[in-house]
Structure 1
Amino acid sequence: MKSQDIVVLLKLISLQDQELTKGVDDLRAESVGGDPYSVRNLEALLGISKTEIAQSIKRSVASGIARKDNSKSEIKPHRRNLFGFITNGLRFVFPAQVGSMQRGVPTAFAAPMLEGLLVSGGTYNYVWPFASGREMGQSVEPLFKSVPEAALQDDRLYEYLALVDAIRLGNQREVGLATDHLRSRIFSK
Structure 2
Amino acid sequence: MKKHGGMRPQDIAILLAIIAKGEEPWMMKDIAVELGISASEVSESLNRSYVAGLIDKPKRKVMRQALLEFLIHGLRYVFPQEPGAIVRGVPTAISTAPLDKLIMSNEKLVWPYAKGTVRGQSIEPLYPSVVEACVKNSELHELLALVDALRVGKVRERELAKVELEKRILNGR
Q: TM-score, normalised by structure 2?
A: 0.91
Q: In 1, are the aligned partners of 2:99 and 2:161 still within 8 Å (CA)? A: no
User: Which residue of structure 2 lines up, in the alignment, with residue 6 of structure 1?
Assistant: 12
Query: Looking at CA atoms only, which structure, 1 or 2, has the larger radius of gyration?
Result: 1
Unaligned runs of 5+ in 2: 1-6
Of 87, 91, 94, the residue aligned with 2:72 is: 87
User: Which residue of structure 1 lines up, in the alignment, with residue 57 of structure 2?
Assistant: 68
CA shift digits 1:40-87 (9 cap, x unpaired): 111110001111101000000010011134xxxx52110000000000
Q: When you count strand as a share of all residues, which structure comes out higher? A: 1
Q: In 2, are the aligned partners of 1:106 and 1:126 still within 8 Å (CA)? A: yes
User: Which residue of structure 2 lines up, in the alignment, with residue 41 of structure 1?
Assistant: 30
Displacement, 1:111? 1.1
Larger relative contact order (CA 8 Å, sep ≥ 6): 2
- Worse overlay, 85-94 or 59-68: 59-68
Displacement, 1:176? 0.6
User: Which residue of structure 2 lines up, in the alignment, with residue 137 of structure 1?
Assistant: 120
Percent identity at matched positions?
Answer: 43
Across the aligned residues of Structure 1 and Structure 2, the Cα RMSD in angstroms comes to 1.3
Of 162, 166, 169, the residue aligned with 1:183 is: 166
User: Which residue of structure 2 lines up, in the alignment, with residue 114 of structure 1?
Assistant: 99
Of 158, 167, 171, the residue aligned with 2:154 is: 171
Q: Report the secondary structure of 2:165's partner residue.
A: helix
Displacement, 1:188? 1.4
Unaligned runs of 5+ in 1: 20-35
CA shift digits 1:114-155 (9 cap, x unpaired): 3221124xx521000000000000000000001111111111
**What CA distance in whole angstroms lies between the structure 2 residues aligned with 1:114 and 1:170?**
11
Displacement, 1:39? 1.8
Q: In 2, are the aligned partners of 1:103 and 1:130 still within 8 Å (CA)? A: yes
Of 20, 39, 42, the residue aligned with 1:50 is: 39
Number of residue pairs matched?
166
**What CA distance in whole angstroms lies between the structure 1 residues aligned with 2:53 and 2:87?**
37
Of 146, 149, 154, the residue aligned with 2:129 is: 146
